[in-house]
Structure 1
Amino acid sequence: MTADGRQRIDKWLFFARVVKSRSLAAKLAQAGRVRVNRAKIDQASHQVRPGDVLTITLDRRILVYRVLEPGVRRGPAAEARLLYEDLSPPAPPIEPAAAAPLRERGRGRPTKKERRALDRWKGGE
């Protein structure tokens, strides 16, 4: 951390517990999956400072964080939450899953029609 409150993006992501290791944070930044104030970055050494807005694209979600302060260490999750303000959009509501096709117990193997219904229910073909 420098005197003006700047910190490398890979260290900040690690301290804020966005990723499990600093090397994963560096790979995330180098892959272009992190934006700082809407500008895509491709270096793990990019400096962030308080007030910057980070957009982080992970596998199944998009995180939008405003940096409140640079990290000093990777501490507990409660300490990590003090480093940022979460601006992420709310997750879409989860629809209740349709009930699985029912079969009587002890009827043997399912028929072709029942197998197809099970495949459709599981999200297959």
Structure 2
Amino acid sequence: MRTASFVLMGLKYDPKFVEKLMGKNVLELSSTYQALMKEGLEKGIELGREQGRELGLEQGLEQGKEQALRASLLRIGEKRLRKPTETVLATLENVREPALLEQLLDKVLEAESWDELLAA
């Protein structure tokens, strides 16, 4: 009855007033409430794990694509433009967007030097 009163009072009165009158955590005394909270927590944890796995997979695929594009760019660039300097390597290592690496890869066959390629 106390829990029902607590819930029904919440429909009409301010939460602080209800808490002052009835006391705090009335619902937590209910075994049904505790079971619902436990179930909600378990579902929340499982959803968090799923989302974490999906995010990790997505990030891993993105990093793999980035690394493959950079490796291809360096391989083709070394054959066409000679061995890259440490500065060029550092610059390419800082490129994190696969779209930009794809653009550089498209232009590497037209460039006459690493400087020309990276200036584009």
TM-score tier after normalising by the smaller chain length: under 0.3
Structure in which a larger fraction of residues adopt strand: 1
Structure in which a larger fraction of residues adopt helix: 2
Q: Which protein has the larger Cα radius of gyration, Structure 1 or Structure 2?
A: 2
TM-score when scaled to structure 1?
A: 0.25
